[in-house]
Structure formats: structure tokens, C-alpha cells
Amino acid sequence: MNFSAKQIAAYLGGTIEGDENASVMTFAKIEEGIEGAISFLANPKYAHYLYETRSSIVLVNNDFVAEQPVSATLIRVPNAYEAIAKLLTLYQSTVAKRSGIHPTAVVAESATVGEDVYLGPHVYVGEGASVGKGSQLYAGVVVEQNASVGEDCVLYPNVSVYHDCKVGNRVILHSGCVIGSDGFGFAPAAEGYEKIPQIGNVCIEDDVEIGANSCVDRSTMGSTYVRRGVKLDNLVQIAHNCDIGSHTVMSAQVGVAGSAKIGQWCMFGGQVGIVGHSVLGDKVLCGAQAGIAGSIPKGNVTIQGSPAIDAKNFMRSSVIFKKLPEMYSELSRLKKELEELKKG
């Protein structure tokens, strides 16, 4: 990688302030900038780093106004965060993909493996399973019988795709991710709990990314769905028979109970819990640690707290929460005074 400011500005459609011949060969955070690196400034609270960074080029928003002299060459773009993401994607595309099948990989006779596939050490592809062209399965990945992995997917070490599950194209599954484990289904009986067989599967559509050690459980019957473009962070639990709508994102430790239906373009902060059999509409935005105890079918709301309520109301309530002990003492005092007045 070696690009000039002129080349980068042309690729991003930006404007240059400084030396158009300044060149870079790596990326760096603005506070850790080095000569030959490109950085970005999207959040104004980090603006002070711009005046002391050693990075050769810095991407800034079009409306940024420098308050001090800047030694780095600036490239102004509509959105610096999106611009750096575009450059990182370009850089990653230049990294050579792994190819070939490691001698310790096991591919069943009835399995199908496409062209330019990489199977790392101790990968297992079961009977009737398929792996699409250009996909990369790193060490210890298991694709069980009759499961399918689409084209240009990346499955990092120790991912498990259970039997009959379907993974679309350009899907990224991080280490320890489990697709198709049994749903948590048990029926109480006289001597304990009887396991309810989970005979369905999981369907993951195209362009999904699922973080490390996350689980998507197979359905009791039918399918558990993770729709196109969904992004799940590490340690997310999707229970059986759920349907996660397109382009929804979930931060770490979100838990979705069984048969919940989540709309499109929803956003969930860390540790949000969603009750089973609930229906959430499109564009539900939920703050961290919220507890969603029922359906929100209309969508287009921002909620927070447990049980989750309108975010603005929650913020107003949180101001009052810390005053409750004083308010209680004051109420007790007024009650006592009122009783004394009644006696008098």
C-alpha cells in the first residue's frame, strides 16, 4: 500500500488542503499517528489531536474548522468516518486470500466444495454439505451434514454450522460462533424436564456478520431467520424460531428469546433483553441494558430502561431516581406534620 493524497482524494471525491503529493503506506489512530500514516477525525472532541499528530494525511469532514495550524495534509470529505471505512475496505481487498485444502481437512465424498475455497487445518465438511466458491474456512471449522455455506464467506477458527443450516453469500462468522444449536425447549414432566426435539434449522441470508461466541439456535420446526445485512456483535444469543429483520444491528450480550420477530434497521445496545413471542417494528432503537417486555409493532421509537420506556421519559425519570430517598424523607416529614395538625 502506497497512495498519494491526490489519489486518495480522487477515490473519495474529497478536496485537498496541503501537499497533494504526500504519501501514506499505513493507517493509524490520530493520537498515535506516525509519518507515512493516514488518520481520520470524525468526532470533534478529538480535534486537539489533529494539531499534534504526526500522520501525513488526515481525513476531516467538510464542515471542520481548524483552530490552530495543522502540519498534516487534510482531505475534506462529506463524512470522514465513512471515508476511512471505504479506504479500509479497499486495503483489505488487496490482501491475498488464502487458498487450498489443508491435508488434515476432511471433506465427505458427497460434499461439494467450490472453486478457490480455502479449508484450513482440521476443517470438516460433512455428507451432503456444500461450500461455495471463494469461501474461506479457517482451522477447526465444522460444516455438518446437509448444511450449506455460500460464496465468498469467511468462517474463522472453530465455527460450527450444524446440520441442515443454510449460510448465504458474503457472510462472516467469527471464532466460536455456533449456527444451529438446539433451541432451549423443554416440557415439564413428573420426574423433571423432557427435551423437545428441535427439528428445524437456521437460515442466514447474504451479507450477515456474526461475532465471536454468538449463538443462533435452530427452530423447533421451520427456520430461525437472520435476514440480509444483519450485524451481530460478540456473545449475542438468538433463540429458536426468531426472525431478525434486515440490517438490524445488536451489540454484545444482547439476548433475544424464542419466537421474537424483530423488524428492519433496528439497533440494540449492549445487554438488551427481548422477551419471547414479541413483535418489534422497523427502526426500534434501544439503549444498553434495556428490557423489552412486550411488543412494539409500530416501530420508529427510541427506548431505554427496564422495563423499556421512551428514552426521553427514562432520562427524566433517572434524574428523579437518585432523589427518591430525600423525597421519601420529605414525604414522611410532611405526613407527620399533617397528622399533628389534624390532632390539633
pLDDT 10s digits, 70-86: 999 999 999 999 999 99
Residue 340 pLDDT class (50, 70, 90 cuts): confident
Q: For 291-337, how does the pLDDT look when each residue is reduced to its tens digit (9 = 90+)?
A: 999 999 998 999 999 889 888 888 888 888 888 899 999 999 999 88
- pLDDT reported for residue 296: 94
- pLDDT reported for residue 94: 80
Q: For 213-272, how does the pLDDT look when each residue is reduced to its tens digit (9 = 90+)?
A: 999 999 999 999 999 999 999 999 999 999 999 999 999 999 999 999 999 999 999 999
Q: What are 288's three cell numbers?
A: 444498553
Q: Are 177 and 195 in contact (CB under 8 A)?
A: no
3-94: CATH topology is 3.40.1390
Domain boundaries, the chain: 3-94, 100-315
Torsion of CA 114, 115, 118, 121, to 10 degrees: 60
- pLDDT reported for residue 2: 87
Class of the 100-315 domain? mainly beta
Checking if the pLDDT of 288 tops 80, the result is yes
What are the C-alpha distances in Å from 43 to residues 78, 150, 270, 337?
A: 13, 37, 22, 54
- pLDDT reported for residue 93: 82
Active site members:
240
Q: Once rounded to an integer, what is the mean pLDDT over residues 86-100?
A: 87
Phi, psi of 126 (to 5 degrees): -80, 180
Q: For 160-175, how does the pLDDT look when each residue is reduced to its tens digit (9 = 90+)?
A: 999 999 999 999 999 9
- pLDDT reported for residue 316: 85
